[in-house]
Structure 1
Amino acid sequence: MAVPYADCCAIFYRITMLPRVDRAPLRGVIERRRASQAYSLNPGDFLPLNSGRVTGTGLILIDMLSSTTRQTTDAGFLRRFHLRSLEHQRPLSAITMAFAVVAYLSFVATRSVVGGPMPGLQYRLACGLCLALLAMAMPRAKTPWACGAIGVAYVLTLQAGIALNVSGVASPLLWALPAMVMVVMGAAPLWLTPTQFLFGTVAFYAAGLPVLLNVHETRGAHLVCWMWIGISVLSAAVLHGCFYWLRRNHFLLEDRLVQLAATDPLTGLQNRRAFKEGAETLLSTPDGSAKFSAIFVDIDYFKSLNDRFGHSVGDQMLHEVAQILKAQTSADDNVSRIGGEEFALLRRGGLRSAVGFAETLRVAISGIARPDGALTASFGVAEYRAGESFMSLLDRADEALLRAKHSGRNRVCAERAAADDAARLKPLQLPDSDAHASGASRREPLRQPWDDHYLTSHFQPLYSLSHQKQVGFEALLRGERDDGSVIAPAILFAPKPFTSESDLDRVSHALHLANAARVIPDDVWVFLNILPVSFVAEGYADQLAGFARSVGLSPERVVLELLESHGGSVDDLSRAAAQYREHGFLIAVDDFGAGHSNLDRLFQIRPDLVKLDGELIRATSPGAQQPILPKLVSLLHQAGMLVVVEGVETTDELILAVESNVDFAQGYLLGRPAATITPPEPVNRRIDHAFDVLAEGRAHQHARFELELHPYRLALDLAAQAYSGGVPLEEAFAPLATFELCISCFILDESGRQIGLEVNGMASAKAGDSLQPVANPRDARWDHRPYFRNAVLRPGVPVTSSPYLSLASGRPCIAVTIAVPTEQGRCVVGVELDWSLDRLPWPAAD
């Protein structure tokens, strides 16, 4: 599509005002066009600029300004222009024609007072009546051709009236010439098209030609008549041409302004106002059988794109998404940029076809590359319901979009099921005979139909390590086909457009509680996974408690495991937890240590149990490679929460769980999920064996630890005696400083402050410079450390600390200290040992 040269200059000027633009290529293109007198530019001429030197906004500006002149070559431009001209011209034409009727009647009245033979008055008045009727018909003309036809009929009737009135006068040219001149000139601006002007003018003079030829006048009078007719025709042509040109330019300007007012300047799509107006017009069509669907699109993580890479990159991403929407949609689809990174579409078709189309758009958008990966978008789809407003339709699509974003983004979600689909989402209905069933019939698990498969429950046991028995079962959802084959979890829990995660979540609760009442023992807990969005749902606490009681389960036996997922703020979760506790439910936080889990979340929700993510049992501290599980369990116990560790798969992990004082354990080593309950005795013996192994290992580990430290205690005792006997500091500690693990030797006064400089040992050379600002212990105070307090409480006895992270060296260390008397008073003599080597045993207990 070509752009006029004047617009090209405007584009060039506005582009030069943008930052980071290499102007030389554009200037060269315009100069070459001007030199060749090809005063137009094509979009391809701007392709060399699309190399990162021009912002996305600049490219859109070029496209927008070029698109505003597109109507000059549109096939429907003339029709739109003429229809718009018709709206403007009908009132003016009607007024002008009415004035001409008045002038004609004046002409008739004047002719009646002049002598000479004349046609009957009724004929001349009949022409006036026809003229009046045509003037009244003009405002009702619906098409330009109807307007032209009325105009031609009007001038022909007017010509007939002129002929009747000039008949019988002495000088007919004197009477007819003014009308011949003024009618053509007065009607010239009112013709909608040049064709109508030409046809109407020719018809007017052709109808009056017989009158002019039959008039007996002098040759000079005829020449004057034809001269004025020629002048009138030329003047009328000029008037019509100028007026037509003005109307056309006015329409171009108006059309451009309307288009700009209805267009998003960045993407070239409709803006929100135009989209709403167009959609309301489309939905108001009388065809009640037509189906329409709205699609809401939101680019994922768009704010981070702007924040990290700049708004020019964000603008470019918006432009590319808009181009995909334009390419994938048809002229019948209503497409708009609603605002920010949100787009909306209204298209013909039902919900399922719209969901399929949205999935096509999702895949296409995921092919757009952004600087940190691939662009993705979330989609919400809703189908128009008869009688509702467009904003209601858009709200339902927006609600589906929010669910798509909360369930992980980069997916398509349809509106929630309507009332006629609600039966599919009802909780499991137990058979009427179930309450009276007993024995084997109550032990058979129930299944729930869902899509093209069935949902069923599997249960995985949890054990109390101290009690060495089963204390609960976690209910896990599984999918089965008719032939008994198992559906992979990735397929079972894959996002589906027509059902949300909360729909599946609620159905699973009813299924699990009903099956738990059938198969698990009466003296254990049932652990039920629940999504935050279900947990905070209004009234769901009452509904869940009611259903639990209906199947024979007391809410006190149900532990709700709050899953790591989107949906619900921490404040909402905390308020909801209080409602569940009123019914007797216990609350657990699942997968602590992964995702959004943090201590603040725990302290606000205050769960009864915390389930640690399985990876935490295998996590170790850097350097010493010691497990962090014991410290974490201790912290949670101090916060008043019981601890469940998941993912126990080996005997070593079970032993670590016992050693870490974990309350409950779960994992494949203790039992796999199954539809039936396995006997607990083998697992009880395995836990008991873990206690035995731990007891034996603790004694062995203690012996190794004491054996490793024995030489250092003896050497420290000798150094302390030498120092208290008056031997200088460096000389007294010289033998101890040669030991392999010795980092430094030091002396603290009664207040815990260091006396003199420390004596560096063999292991001090491994210390880096990263902790240099705190490496010098001068003026430091250490009386808060256990190794100082314990030494003061047991004077003369070497005291060994637990491993700690040294502030001076940044390594796991152990301090051996002893309190001795000196001439300056009692002091604490100590040595810091490097305990970061893998071969070194750690104490069995803190």
Structure 2
Amino acid sequence: MLSTSTKQQADAGLRERFHRRSLEHQRPLSTAMMAFTVVAFLCFVGARNFVGGPALPLSYRLACAPVLGLLVLAIPRTNTTSAFGAIGVAYSLLLLAGLALNISGVDQPLLWALPALVAIPICAAPLWLTPAHFWVGSTLFYAAALAWLVGVPRTHDLDIVTWMWIAAIGMPASAVFHFGFYRFRRNHFLLESQLAKLAATDPLTGLQNRRAFVKQAEHRLETMAPDARVSAIFLDIDSFKSLNDRFGHVVGDHALYQVAQTLMEHTTAQDSVSRIGGEEFAVLRHEGLVGALALAERLRGAIAAIERPDGYLSASFGVAEHRRGENIMVLLDRADQALLRAKHSGRNRVCAEHALPGEALQLLSEAARTEGGAVVRRQRWENYYLISHFQPLYSLSHQKQVGFEALLRGEHDDGTLVPPVVLFAPNPGNDEGALDRASHAVHLGNAREALPASAWLFLNILPATFIAEGYADQLAAIVRAVGLEPERVILEILESHGGSVDEMSRAAALYREHGFLIAVDDFGAGQSNLDRLFRIRPDIVKLDGELIRATSPRTEQPILPKLVSLLHLAGMLVVVEGVETTEELILAVESNVDFAQGYLLGRPAAEMAPPESVRRRIDDAFDVIAQGRAHQHALFEGEVEPYRVALNSAADDLRAGVAMDDAFASLAMFERCVSCFILDDSGRQIGHEVRGPAWRSEATSLHPVANPRDARWDHRPYFRNAVLLPGVAVTSNPYLSLASGRPCLAVTLAVQFAHERSVVGVELDWSSAGLPWPAGD
């Protein structure tokens, strides 16, 4: 009984689909036929005017035509079979009424009516959608015709002819036409349905194929309610190729069939299930991400129970939730990316899509829980969690914490950390940009309660993320959502590929509109250069940790002070990273660095470190510098004082008229003397230089500029300072000499001779390691 009832319901459903399909096909045919009938009716009215006898007024006889026309216009707008049938019945009866009005008053009305009484049912027969419409329409038409014929005068012969034409020809012909055409349309529909089913079905598993799945999914997404949630599950049978290669395609086909049956058993009629191709399957689930993940996990367990000759099947799953406005292909692509991550992370597992920053923040809030009294916020990623570690930054002048750099870490379920080489390893299934965006949500969620009220939060950001369209607005919204202000967040652009300098410059302007500060990380490494700085115009420059240990090749003097001075002149604050020793901290203070960061000041940790112990360390560095400055000055002065004395003596000899070579003879014998010289008031050399022991001619690469007599030197500090302090021997800071190609310094003295003022001086080789440098340099 149950099977009979089910069959009847299936037949009823099939008839309904057939009649609706017939309605689509019949609309244009019925419209054309009924429009032609209106024209024929007008011709009939016109022909009546050529016949004598009393006739009704023309307006009465034409009144049916516009009504018939309105019914014709209603046909294309008809959406139900019942309405279509009702229009057909009304049209045939109205046509019969118009016929009766037009033949009123003729001598032999049957001669006018009989052809129409036969032709109208026959022509209308194929147009009726269903047998019920045909029977109702034909019965009403003939009943109305009989009622009209009763009042028409006729003879016995006319009665016989009339019934012969109507009963013997009209009625049988219309029945044959209707049921013949109806059978033809039904067979065509069944064939079309069968072909459509074959085109939409995977023959092996009986599931939808890819084309049908995508089409149905597109329709569902377009018609879903605004608050509805839909997720896609993508799955792939693991090591399926080995199954075919080792045991044959019959075994592989059977495994595919079993997986398909498992999918059907665990899904509902509202879900779309498809074999996408090969060993890949897809499910469109009318549920959110959490529910779809639970279903995927049940499916994974069920498939893992299916036997194969060498053990059991397994499958990898990727799950993604539909986002408003995206199409099915984008949704499937995100699910496929999650599937790839499941494959690359070991197979036989379920991986969810990577959440957008706002979604990640929401997940963190939902996942917050108390462990030992502390609130833990972390986000699931791959087969581990993303967490935050914070490393402090200190203002050296203020000797206090001014901010924390948020550093991403991975944590296993047992609390052990994921090695950075694994967390940040390049991986075809790993979206680096998604990891970057998720890290921002993780860090902001963790910093909102722990960040001190007056501190900055440094967020690392990839160039590709930094220039992503709309991300400035999105990040600002997330920052405000956690209770922070963008002014307290410094975006630290990492040294990485992913954006041109022009794009980053334009993006920086957008972030600044929200109040973010901009920093450039690892200046001095990779692609970082001065052009990049001057185009982006960051507020803060973080120097690569190696720069604090970098020295000039010959003198072993640190280059950090000059670099900091250059960046300050460009209007940028400076952070030096990698401070690991007290000596490096002292150098950072001495170089006028603004902020410092490194293991000596605080290691990255889940909790933000208190500053008390570090303040004393920084203060000690200032004390060391203050104590060493006087000592350094004394060493330097002791080294150059003999040259000052000898230069003063040489100047006295020159004023007394002693020849240049004799006047400089004593000074030119000093060990570090490169050359002695005289410059006129415009800075050009007078005569030749007197060379000392440190002069060398092997600097051939500088040969075009090796002759000092070709140049003008009044722009040099050693010339200007001497002119400002006439009669005082002044010592310059070390500089790179064009004449020798070595670090040198000059001792100069402005001397007034009889007719002009000149500057006499000596250049000293200061390239040897261990020589003291000016304490203020």
Letter in 1 for 2:509: A
Alpha-carbon distance change, 397 to 439 in structure 1, aligned in 2, over 3 angstroms: closer
Give the whole-Å Cα distance in 2 for the aligned partners of 1:653 and 1:631. 16
Alpha-carbon distance change, 397 to 739 in structure 1, aligned in 2, over 3 angstroms: farther
Selected match of 2:583 from 634, 645, 652: 652
Post-superposition CA distance 1:424-480 (Å, at most 9, x none)? 883132677999x99996x53411111111111000000000000000000001111
Report what 1:429 is aligned to: 362
The yes-or-no answer on 1:451 pairing with 2:389 is: no
Selected match of 1:712 from 631, 638, 643: 643
Report what 1:664 is aligned to: 595
Alpha-carbon distance change, 512 to 351 in structure 1, aligned in 2, over 3 angstroms: farther
Post-superposition CA distance 1:358-403 (Å, at most 9, x none)? xxxxxxxxxxxxxxxxxxxxxxxx99xxxxxxxx989x999x99xx
Following superposition, the deviation at residue 580 of structure 1 comes to 1.0
Report what 2:162 is aligned to: none
Selected match of 1:726 from 657, 660, 665: 657
Give the whole-Å Cα distance in 1 for the aligned partners of 2:762 and 2:484. 61
Letter in 2 for 1:428: L
2:747 is paired with a residue whose SS is strand
Task: Show the 5 A alignment for 1:797-816.
Answer: 797-816=728-747
Post-superposition CA distance 1:644-669 (Å, at most 9, x none)? 11000011111111111110000000
The yes-or-no answer on 1:579 pairing with 2:510 is: yes
Unaligned runs of 5+ in 2: 1-198, 212-244, 250-275, 283-317, 320-327
2:522 is paired with a residue whose SS is strand
Give the whole-Å Cα distance in 1 for the aligned partners of 2:528 and 2:638. 42
Give the whole-Å Cα distance in 2 for the aligned partners of 1:648 and 1:739. 41
Selected match of 1:840 from 767, 771, 777: 771
Alpha-carbon distance change, 397 to 734 in structure 1, aligned in 2, over 3 angstroms: farther
Post-superposition CA distance 1:104-143 (Å, at most 9, x none)? xxxxxxxxxxxxxxxxxxxxxxxxxxxxxxxxxxxxxxxx
1:765 is paired with a residue whose SS is coil
Give the whole-Å Cα distance in 2 for the aligned partners of 1:568 and 1:561. 15
Give the whole-Å Cα distance in 1 for the aligned partners of 2:543 and 2:611. 23
Give the whole-Å Cα distance in 2 for the aligned partners of 1:722 and 1:466. 50
Report what 2:501 is aligned to: 570
Alpha-carbon distance change, 509 to 502 in structure 1, aligned in 2, over 3 angstroms: same
The answer as to whether partners of 2:488 and 2:516 remain within 8 angstroms in 1 is yes
2:607 is paired with a residue whose SS is coil
Following superposition, the deviation at residue 679 of structure 1 comes to 1.8
Selected match of 2:462 from 531, 536, 540: 531
Alpha-carbon distance change, 423 to 736 in structure 1, aligned in 2, over 3 angstroms: closer
Give the whole-Å Cα distance in 1 for the aligned partners of 2:569 and 2:549. 22
Letter in 2 for 1:789: R
Post-superposition CA distance 1:125-169 (Å, at most 9, x none)? xxxxxxxxxxxxxxxxxxxxxxxxxxxxxxxxxxxxxxxxxxxxx
Following superposition, the deviation at residue 535 of structure 1 comes to 1.0
Letter in 2 for 1:774: V
Unaligned runs of 5+ in 1: 1-282, 293-329, 333-345, 353-381, 384-391, 405-411
Alpha-carbon distance change, 716 to 423 in structure 1, aligned in 2, over 3 angstroms: closer
Following superposition, the deviation at residue 527 of structure 1 comes to 0.4
Give the whole-Å Cα distance in 1 for the aligned partners of 2:375 and 2:333. 42
1:444 is paired with a residue whose SS is strand
Report what 1:676 is aligned to: 607
Alpha-carbon distance change, 286 to 448 in structure 1, aligned in 2, over 3 angstroms: closer
**Identity over the aligned pairs, expressed in percent?**
66
Letter in 1 for 2:728: V
Report what 1:36 is aligned to: none
The yes-or-no answer on 1:795 pairing with 2:716 is: no
Task: Show the 5 A alignment for 1:619-630.
Answer: 619-630=550-561
Following superposition, the deviation at residue 774 of structure 1 comes to 1.5
Alpha-carbon distance change, 424 to 393 in structure 1, aligned in 2, over 3 angstroms: closer
Post-superposition CA distance 1:286-345 (Å, at most 9, x none)? 7676679xxxxxxxxxxxxxxxxxxxxxxxxxxxxxxxxxxxxx9x9xxxxxxxxxxxxx
The yes-or-no answer on 1:491 pairing with 2:404 is: no
Give the whole-Å Cα distance in 2 for the aligned partners of 1:800 and 1:646. 34
Post-superposition CA distance 1:751-789 (Å, at most 9, x none)? 111010000001003752222222112232110011111
Post-superposition CA distance 1:17-42 (Å, at most 9, x none)? xxxxxxxxxxxxxxxxxxxxxxxxxx
The yes-or-no answer on 1:559 pairing with 2:501 is: no
Letter in 2 for 1:785: R
Alpha-carbon distance change, 570 to 662 in structure 1, aligned in 2, over 3 angstroms: same
Following superposition, the deviation at residue 494 of structure 1 comes to 1.1
Post-superposition CA distance 1:48-92 (Å, at most 9, x none)? xxxxxxxxxxxxxxxxxxxxxxxxxxxxxxxxxxxxxxxxxxxxx
Give the whole-Å Cα distance in 2 for the aligned partners of 1:790 and 1:495. 57
Report what 1:518 is aligned to: 449
What value does the CA root-mean-square deviation take over the aligned residues?
A: 3.7
Alpha-carbon distance change, 469 to 728 in structure 1, aligned in 2, over 3 angstroms: same
Give the whole-Å Cα distance in 1 for the aligned partners of 2:209 and 2:278. 7
The answer as to whether partners of 1:445 and 1:675 remain within 8 angstroms in 2 is no
The answer as to whether partners of 1:720 and 1:829 remain within 8 angstroms in 2 is yes
Alpha-carbon distance change, 482 to 757 in structure 1, aligned in 2, over 3 angstroms: same
Report what 1:168 is aligned to: none
Following superposition, the deviation at residue 498 of structure 1 comes to 2.7
Following superposition, the deviation at residue 555 of structure 1 comes to 1.0
Task: Show the 5 A alignment for 1:212-251.
Answer: none
The yes-or-no answer on 1:470 pairing with 2:401 is: yes
Give the whole-Å Cα distance in 1 for the aligned partners of 2:356 and 2:637. 68
Alpha-carbon distance change, 393 to 438 in structure 1, aligned in 2, over 3 angstroms: closer
Report what 2:687 is aligned to: 756
Give the whole-Å Cα distance in 2 for the aligned partners of 1:661 and 1:723. 43
Alpha-carbon distance change, 504 to 584 in structure 1, aligned in 2, over 3 angstroms: same
Give the whole-Å Cα distance in 1 for the aligned partners of 2:531 and 2:602. 32
Give the whole-Å Cα distance in 1 for the aligned partners of 2:735 and 2:623. 28
Post-superposition CA distance 1:663-706 (Å, at most 9, x none)? 00000000000011222111010000000001111111100000
What TM-score comes out, normalization by structure 1 length? 0.51
Following superposition, the deviation at residue 608 of structure 1 comes to 0.7
Report what 2:91 is aligned to: none
Task: Show the 5 A alignment for 1:584-595.
Answer: 584-595=515-526
Alpha-carbon distance change, 422 to 515 in structure 1, aligned in 2, over 3 angstroms: closer
Give the whole-Å Cα distance in 2 for the aligned partners of 1:518 and 1:430. 17
1:483 is paired with a residue whose SS is coil
Report what 2:529 is aligned to: 598
Report what 1:27 is aligned to: none
Selected match of 1:818 from 749, 753, 767: 749
Give the whole-Å Cα distance in 2 for the aligned partners of 1:397 and 1:554. 35
What TM-score comes out, normalization by structure 2 length? 0.55
Report what 1:76 is aligned to: none
Following superposition, the deviation at residue 348 of structure 1 comes to 4.6
Give the whole-Å Cα distance in 2 for the aligned partners of 1:422 and 1:718. 79
